[in-house]
A = this chain, B = another copy of it.
């Protein structure tokens, strides 16, 4: 894989992620595929840690996704092993053997049960993963386990990512701070309506795993499921949230606990920030784009139309070319397969209304909107005028960079 320049949309600075009590980790160079960089992350979780997870709905999931799905049910976790450089997807019986062997290596090192170990792999599809490569680095990983720095963890799981992705939130429950910190990776093969690429979130909140699982899906729906880079859904999408329960407060044991809403909002904030980082690192991206659809017959319909616009290669190449080609937004609305009435449709780019009620806005000024298109962040708003449904999807532009990156990914 060629090195690609850092996305111009990368954050100017990174937050300082605090330690999460009960979470220790380390990274290593296992030599899975890359040279001279870390490719393996081991996270050790204290006894009592529970988890929730959302996994890809791909019909061709990776062996690691199969493994996580089989073990999510009991809601308990003691370790997480992630590698980059190989997705262990479409690897048949070899893939199954590799996840079994990986879990055995971690289980032996940490003295925990294999079914409490979670696995994730990201990289090339179809290449068998040599799990034996984890064995020689495991002793060193165990000896280096520590509660930071989180940036090292985020870097070890990168593939075509050009910057590491971290986010954190803190909640104060009656004077006791609760931390939620997460990492993510993803840059291409990113599409909504699925879990995500890889994202791992850690909190010291004491919470029942069933309640945590119930919070996670809606949070994923407005974060990872609301972003698209290229409409291509991964075989390996995995979002796991681990809760160590170490914060010195009463645990959340009921969905009626008033702290649930507060915690859910903070969790959603962390996932949204990570999801937007993924878009900002979209392969070849030079513009961050948000597409909001209002006035649809339902939120689901609004979201589908927003996705169709956000996935349209013609809309995305026009944005890359700083061309205010709103006619392509019209075409995308038209093809979405959702209720829409051409003659009620209005479209804005930023605060500039470009089309109203089925035709070009009478005040349309090409120079004004062309100037707006030079911004690094583009906001598209579509008003359908049919109902009260709304939805937002985040995406990036489609540039020569995307073609270059994906024409030579394996070489």
Contact = CB atoms under 8 A, between A and B. Distances in A.
3 A-B pairs with the lowest CB-CB distances in the bound complex, closest first: A125-B327, A321-B407, A92-B359
Interface residues of A, number: 72
A409 B323 contact: yes
A16 interface: no
Given A321-B408, A403-B399, A232 B313 contact: yes
A325 interface: yes
A59 B126 contact: no
Contacts of A188: 314
A103 interface: no
Interface stretch (A25-33, A44-52, A336-344): A336-344
A345 interface: yes
A95 interface: yes
A94 to B, nearest CB: 7
B406 A232 contact: no
A126 B355 contact: yes
A358 interface: yes
Interface in A324-339: 325-328, 330-336, 338-339
A137 interface: no
A153 B41 CA distance: 63
A360 B127 contact: yes
A302 interface: no
A142 to B, nearest CB: 32
A222 interface: no
A317 B406 contact: yes
18 contacts: A56-B334, A59-B336, A59-B340, A60-B345, A90-B327, A90-B358, A91-B359, A92-B358, A94-B359, A126-B359, A232-B332, A235-B331, A317-B403, A320-B403, A321-B408, A321-B409, A323-B407, A323-B409
